[in-house]
Structure formats: structure tokens, C-alpha cells
A = this chain, B = another copy of it.
Amino acid sequence: MEKLSRFVPLLGQISTYDRAKFSSDLIAATVVTIMLIPQSLAYAMLAGLPAELGLYASIFPLLAYALFGSCKTLAVGPVAIASLMTASALGKVTALGIIGYVEGAMLLALLSGIFLLLLGVFRLGFISNFLSHPVVVGFITASGLVIALSQFKHILGIKAEGHNFVEIVYSTISNLTQFNTYTLIIGVCSVLFLFWARQGSAKLLERFGISKSLAFSLSKAAPVVGVAVTTLVVSQFGLDKQGVAIVGTIPTGMPSLVLPSFSWAAVEALFVPAVLISIIGYVESVSVGRTLSAKKRERIDGNQELIALGAANIASGMSGAFPVTGGFARSVVNYDAGAETQFAAIFTAVGISLAALFLTPLLHYLPIAMLAATIIVAVLSLVDFSIFKRAWDFSKSDFAAVSITVFLTLLMGVEIGVASGIIASILLLLHHTSKPHIAEVGLLPNSEHFRNILHFDVECHPSVLSLRVDESLLFSNVSYLEEYISDLITKRPDAKAVILDCAAINTIDLSAVEMLEALNHRLSHQNIALHLSEVKVPVQRLLKRSGLLEELTGEMHLSQYDAYQSLVKHYE
């Protein structure tokens, strides 16, 4: 049982589940359900899919995450960025006629789920380290802008197209004159209301004597108020006949579990987008999960999260829906509304099911402009321009990586944006790790300590070169070390021995060992012996295994001081 509950964390909750937790979870689930209904519809629209699929994506995936997830309060479902990436991927693939739009969305969720699941099972969560945090923030900011802008057409009631910022701006502006007055009024009012509601509604409720935390939760229901009011206005005044676009008939019912039909060509075409959506989704979800868990001094397990998000996406794909992940806003609401366990997510799934079964006929006259307003207000909170300033102040290379990501996301679309973000991150890492800190050191007079010859007045011997490397030796930095030593040797014609102080080398890889072998060999041609000092035990073990120690022209010394003293004596 204990073993099983490691894989299915929910099981660990059952024995201690009581009435108090039940009622807390139920309240949180009610608030999240109310918040999730308009969001689900809106994100389905953003993904270019029928509205009901948004609801479907908020039923079985929640159950799947509840079973396997290690964060008790994470709220999973459709989110803005993944929906935009879905639309972008499907736009290209369906244009080729390889697969239909809805089947494509299902397949994308399924592939993403399988990829996440495999990463989790093989404990490969570290590959999310591909992305540096500033690059992620830059990508999300740029995507948020693209998403917000893409919704302007719905606020204006015009037609506009485009896959990147420039195209959308151009298309929106050139069709601007065809705006629909009623749509514009509804859209602008909705945006203003939702913006006000984020801060103002809670304050208003507090003034009516409602407690601060309840007011916060209730304020999250503002979009539902907006939905109700705008739907009523449209249906009462027959505005749909005046050109106001409405959601229309949403089929009632529950999703049925099926496998999407697909061809291998479709799998090939959607594989890379699925991987990108997975990585971005995981990075975001895990950062939310970690923040919430830490508040309760609980821990989350990265690999378990991969499994749970994988299961959620597989469930989404099989429900006929599209990629999902842990959402920031709704998880915070879930937590603040008092959710105690993953049962809150199960209750939310029940709530959304009821909506799918009974509520959809009421949403017939819901204006698209209201959904667009929901999206705009939601994504603008993702936009964070301060990342530019922070990166600029911090380092020019971080700034370059962020700028490239933002620029390419805006100009070339999300896929190229995130792919170049990953490449920029890796280049940054290689750049950072490719120059290990190396110092030529000398003996501090009247001590056994060695210090950088550039900063201290130290004792050196012309025949003995002392070097200290301040990083682990890996293939990414060995060529720098190799070049550094080769250069130094050309400047020290009297050198007869090099001592490498290895105190800071925690690990070493095979490339580094082979470099040391080559270095040892080359130095021996120049009649220079290579000595090592202060080698840590695990590194010693690796060096022994590789056979380097047998070939070493010099020796391995316990301390740099011992090595220096004995060599100075030897060459005097």
C-alpha cells in the first residue's frame, strides 16, 4: 500500500480524509469550477476548437492529475500558452491535409502525454533544465502579447488573421473600419469590468463586511457574472441579429473516451510541437506546484509531476480534447479558497461535468467578445516586461537570450520562439561552462596557502607552474583548460613541471580524462611533467579506472604545498 501510494499519491490521502477536509475541498472546488467554466470555453476558442472541448479538457485530465500528482492544490486544465501553441501547430499541419483539426488536437495531447509520461518513468525530468528562467519569462511575455492581440478582432467584431505579431497587427488594422458597434461596446465593457474586478471587486465585497479571504475567492467569480450579464443582454436585445458573434449551440453531454484516429505522417508532423508544448507546460506547472507546496512545507517530486501531467494529457487526448497543464491563476485560487487535498480537483471535475451536461444550453447567446475579454485580461497578467531590465542589469548574455526569444516569438511564432529559446539557453550554458575559472597560483609567504599570482604577492619557482581549476572538468570546458595550459607553457620556457590543484574538481567526465591524457602526452614531449594535487576521492576513483594514473609523467600529491615543496627541491 505504501509502495502503491508512492505512485498514486491520492491513496495516501484517503485514510486521513475527514469531514473538515471534505468541506474545505468542496468550497475550493466550487470556486474553481465557477472560474474554470468561462476559461475553458475561452481557451478552446483560442486553440481554434469547439467550445465544449474546453469543458472536456477540464474533466478527465483533472481526475488523472488528482490520482498521480504530488501537489495537492495544483489545478490542471487548458491554459493560454498551450492553447496558443496548439492552434499554431494545428494551423500548419491541417493546412497540409494530414489530419483533421479536432483529431490533430487530440493527437497532440496524446503525444504530449506520452512524452511527459516517458520522461517521468525514466526519471528524465532534468531535461526541463534546457530552459533558463529568463528565457521562459521572455517566451511567456511574448506569447501573452500575441494572444492578447489575436483577441482584439473579437472585441472589435472584425475578421483578422495571422500567426505572428506583425501579421496580426497588419490584418487587424486593415480591417479596423468594419468594426461592429454592439460587439465593440460589449467587448470594451467586458475588458474594463474584468480589469476592475481583479482588484476592485474584492475591495467592494470587503466593504459589505465579507471577510478578506472569502472576498478574494468570490472576486474570482467575476467572469461568471460577466458571462451571465452579457449573455442576457445579447439574448434580450437580439444583438446576435445585429452582428454580435455568439458561441451558439454547444452540444450537451460528457466526453466519451476514445483514441484519436491518426496516421504516422501526422505523428511525425506533430511530434516536435508536442515536445515543445510538454516542456513549456511542465516548466510552468512545476513552478506553480513548487510555490504552493512550499507554503505548506510539503514537497513535490518532479518525476511524479511528469507522470501526472502525462496522465492528464493522455486523458485529455482520449476525451477528444487538447493539451492541458497546471494553471497559475486557478491553482492559486484553489489554494486560497482552502483546498486541502487532490479531492478538490475531483470535485471540480464533477462540477465541470455538471456544466457540460446541463449548463451549455444557457450559454447559447454568450458573446465571443466576452470570452475574448476573459483571455485578454488573463494573459496580460503573464506579460512581464521587467525581465528585459532585470536581464540587462544582470548580464548582457542573459539579455541577448531573452531578446532573441521575445523577438522571434513575436515575429516567427511560438514554435520557432520556444525552439530558439531552448537553443539560446543551451548556448548560454555552454558559454558559462566553457570558461572554467583557472588561476596561476603561488605560495603565500610563511604559509601553506596558495593564492592567485595576479592578486597576491606570492612565491613562484620558474620550473614549477602551479595552477588551480575552480570547476568540475567536463567536455564543455576541457578545451579551454587545454588551450590555457598550452598558452601558458609557451610563455614559461623554463617550466619543467605543472601541478594542477584539483581541490575544486567535484567530477570529471571521459572527455576531460582524455584531454588530461593528451595533455600529459604532449607535455612529456616538451619534457614537462604533469602533477596533480588534492584530488577528491570520487575523482581519484575515476582517474584510476581510466588508467591515466599509470601514464602520468608526474605524481598525485596529497596537498598542493607538498607537491610544490618536493618539486622545488627536485629542480633546484
Q: Which residues of A contact B (CB under 8 A)?
A: 126-134, 290-291, 293-295, 297-299, 302, 390-391, 393-395, 398, 425-435, 437, 470-472, 474-480, 482-483, 486-487, 489-490, 493, 504, 506-507, 509-511, 513-515, 518, 522-523, 525-526, 542, 545-546
Contact with A542, one of B128, B394, B434 (Cβ below 8 angstroms): B394
Tell me, rounded to whole Å, the shortest Cβ–Cβ distance linking A331 to chain B: 15
Tell me, rounded to whole Å, the shortest Cβ–Cβ distance linking A36 to chain B: 26
Tell me, rounded to whole Å, the shortest Cβ–Cβ distance linking A199 to chain B: 21
What residues of chain B lie closer than 8 Å to A133, measured between beta carbons? Answer: 475, 478, 510-511, 514-515
- Are A129 and B430 interface neighbours, CB within 8 A? yes
What residues of chain B lie closer than 8 Å to A395, measured between beta carbons? Answer: 509-510, 542
A393 to B482, CA, bound (A): 24
What residues of chain B lie closer than 8 Å to A493, measured between beta carbons? Answer: 297
The 5 closest A-B pairs by CB, nearest first: A133-B511, A132-B475, A294-B522, A126-B434, A398-B510
Given A132-B511, A428-B475, A471-B471, 20 further pairs, Cβ under 8 A: A129-B434, A129-B477, A132-B475, A132-B509, A134-B511, A290-B483, A293-B486, A294-B522, A295-B526, A299-B487, A391-B510, A394-B509, A394-B542, A395-B542, A398-B510, A429-B429, A429-B430, A432-B507, A433-B474, A471-B472
What residues of chain B lie closer than 8 Å to A479, measured between beta carbons? Answer: 128-129, 302
A425 to B433, CA, bound (A): 14
- Are B432 and A390 interface neighbours, CB within 8 A? no
Chain copies in the assembled complex: 2
- Are A393 and B546 interface neighbours, CB within 8 A? yes
A44 to B475, CA, bound (A): 33
A523 to B430, CA, bound (A): 31
What residues of chain B lie closer than 8 Å to A480, measured between beta carbons? Answer: 126
What residues of chain B lie closer than 8 Å to A507, measured between beta carbons? Answer: 432, 437
On whether A295 and B522 interact (CB within 8 A), knowing A425-B475, A509-B432, the answer reads yes
Closest to A402 in B: B510
- Are A472 and B432 interface neighbours, CB within 8 A? yes
Contact with A546, one of B299, B394, B432 (Cβ below 8 angstroms): B394
**Binding site secondary structure of chain A:** helix
A483 to B523, CA, bound (A): 43
Tell me, rounded to whole Å, the shortest Cβ–Cβ distance linking A247 to chain B: 39
What residues of chain B lie closer than 8 Å to A426, measured between beta carbons? Answer: 426
What residues of chain B lie closer than 8 Å to A490, measured between beta carbons? Answer: 297-299
- A-B contacts, 10 of them at CB < 8 A, read A132-B475, A133-B510, A134-B511, A290-B482, A290-B486, A294-B486, A299-B486, A428-B475, A429-B433, A429-B476
A490 to B290, CA, bound (A): 13
Residue among A132, A294, A483, A515 with max Cβ neighbours from chain B (10 Å):
A294
What residues of chain B lie closer than 8 Å to A130, measured between beta carbons? Answer: 430
Residue among A302, A395, A427 with max Cβ neighbours from chain B (10 Å):
A395
What residues of chain B lie closer than 8 Å to A391, measured between beta carbons? Answer: 510
- Are A390 and B299 interface neighbours, CB within 8 A? no
Closest to A302 in B: B483
Tell me, rounded to whole Å, the shortest Cβ–Cβ distance linking A394 to chain B: 5
What residues of chain B lie closer than 8 Å to A511, measured between beta carbons? Answer: 132-134
Closest to A487 in B: B299
Contact with A513, one of B302, B394, B435, B523 (Cβ below 8 angstroms): B394
On whether A470 and B506 interact (CB within 8 A), knowing A129-B475, A427-B127, A518-B291, the answer reads yes
Closest to A128 in B: B479
On whether A489 and B297 interact (CB within 8 A), knowing A133-B510, A429-B476, A433-B433, the answer reads yes
On whether A431 and B126 interact (CB within 8 A), knowing A132-B511, A486-B294, the answer reads yes
Tell me, rounded to whole Å, the shortest Cβ–Cβ distance linking A467 to chain B: 15
Closest to A519 in B: B294
What residues of chain B lie closer than 8 Å to A515, measured between beta carbons? Answer: 133
- Are A506 and B302 interface neighbours, CB within 8 A? no
- Are A526 and B126 interface neighbours, CB within 8 A? no
A302 to B480, CA, bound (A): 10
Tell me, rounded to whole Å, the shortest Cβ–Cβ distance linking A142 to chain B: 17
A511 to B477, CA, bound (A): 21
A479 to B131, CA, bound (A): 11
A379 to B480, CA, bound (A): 29
A131 to B474, CA, bound (A): 11
A302 to B486, CA, bound (A): 12
- Are B522 and A291 interface neighbours, CB within 8 A? yes
Residue among A128, A391, A479, A510 with max Cβ neighbours from chain B (10 Å):
A510
A523 to B294, CA, bound (A): 8
What residues of chain B lie closer than 8 Å to A474, measured between beta carbons? Answer: 429, 432-433
A297 to B511, CA, bound (A): 23
